[in-house]
């Protein structure tokens, strides 16, 4: 089968390696300031002359690690349509930043979903889904690596059954969104989050996200401790800072 694979990074590389064993795969990788990046940056409108410049000769379109919507006109060019590997349990965490919101939402279970591509982001029928427990404090780098490999395996299995597999509509009323987060935005609700949740969020996402409470360079342990400090306040310590939560302390390292 001829497959047009859109993606970048380890997710796309894993998918290409897995699919290339049995199929003819052409990888389209967007480059900085490349016309293809500009093309997919516009989600609501794509000029026909720009779209015509992209020649797709494929039976199926696959996306993995691709953070833009494909235009419907492009999806329609592939006789077998288009599918995507999304690193969450859809309809939970639709959008470009699911890993961040998995930690923010304090999910205890996560996984990967392979679904049909439609005009709305991550809203197509589910073709396969795999779930697993999310260990507390697991590095998001390790979580991403696990999901990339799992997603590639799931894509391989779905592609093998693409002509017979039946999709399951998503429960749209249960959908949550995973939008981008502006750098420097405070995301922790210190009034309600317990110290262990704060630690899980900060430790898991470090160093890709830092809560703007101190100029810390690492996240240490957490402890349950009674105190009279306001939740979210920070105090100097010999090796860093003490971040006070409503029921304990998270140690931030210099």
- Overall number of domains in the chain: 2
For strand 240-245 and strand 218-224, is the pairing parallel, antiparallel, or unpaired? unpaired
Q: Are residues 204 and 249 in the same domain?
A: yes
Peptide bond into 5 cis (omega under 30): no
pLDDT band at residue 66 using 50, 70 and 90 as cut-offs: confident
Q: Are residues 231 and 166 in the same domain?
A: no
Q: Are residues 146 and 219 in the same domain?
A: no
Are 7 and 37 in contact by the 8 Å Cβ rule? The answer is no
- Domain presence at residue 186: no
pLDDT band at residue 239 using 50, 70 and 90 as cut-offs: very high
Q: Are residues 208 and 120 in the same domain?
A: no
Smallest CA-to-CA distance from 81 within 43, 48, 117, 55 is with 117
User: What CATH number corresponds to the domain at position 46?
Assistant: 3.40.50.170
- Domain presence at residue 183: no
Q: What is the pLDDT of residue 52?
A: 45
What digits encode the pLDDT tens for the residues 117-148? Answer: 998 999 999 999 999 999 999 999 999 999 99
Q: What is the pLDDT of residue 237?
A: 95
Report the percent of the chain where pLDDT is more than 70.
90
- Domain presence at residue 189: no
Q: What is the pLDDT of residue 30?
A: 66
- Name the pTM for this structure: 0.91
Q: Are residues 126 and 232 in the same domain?
A: no
Are 145 and 103 in contact by the 8 Å Cβ rule? The answer is no
Are 61 and 74 in contact by the 8 Å Cβ rule? The answer is yes
- Domain presence at residue 27: yes
Smallest CA-to-CA distance from 232 within 181, 173, 192, 179 is with 192
Q: Which domain holds residue 240?
A: 195-253
d(CA 17, CA 151): 12
Smallest CA-to-CA distance from 87 within 19, 145, 20 is with 145
- Domain presence at residue 221: yes
Q: What is the pLDDT of residue 128?
A: 98
């Amino acid at each position: 089968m001829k497959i047009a694979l859109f993606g970048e990074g380890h997710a796309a590389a894993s998918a290409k390696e897995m699919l290339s064993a049995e199929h003819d795969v052409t990888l389209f990788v967007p480059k900085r300031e490349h016309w293809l990046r500009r093309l997919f940056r516009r989600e609501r409108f794509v000029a026909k002359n720009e779209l015509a410049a992209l020649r797709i000769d494929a039976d199926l379109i696959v996306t993995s690690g691709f953070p833009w919507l494909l235009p419907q006109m492009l999806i329609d060019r592939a006789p077998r349509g288009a599918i995507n590997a999304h690193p969450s349990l859809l309809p939970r965490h639709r959008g470009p930043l699911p890993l961040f919101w998995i930690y923010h939402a304090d999910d205890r279970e996560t996984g990967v979903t392979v679904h049909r591509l439609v005009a709305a982001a991550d809203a197509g029928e589910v073709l396969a889904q795999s779930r697993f427990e999310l260990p507390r404090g697991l590095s998001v780098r390790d979580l991403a690596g696990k999901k990339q490999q799992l997603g590639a395996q799931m894509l391989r299995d779905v592609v093998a059954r693409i002509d017979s597999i039946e999709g399951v509509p998503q429960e749209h009323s249960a959908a949550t969104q995973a939008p981008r987060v502006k750098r420097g935005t405070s995301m922790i609700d210190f009034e309600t989050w317990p110290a262990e949740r704060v630690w899980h969020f900060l430790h898991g996402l470090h160093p890709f996200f830092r809560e703007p409470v101190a100029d810390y360079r690492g996240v240490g342990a957490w402890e349950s401790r009674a105190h009279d400090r306001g939740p979210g306040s920070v105090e100097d310590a010999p090796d860093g800072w003490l971040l006070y939560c409503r029921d304990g302390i998270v140690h931030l390292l210099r």
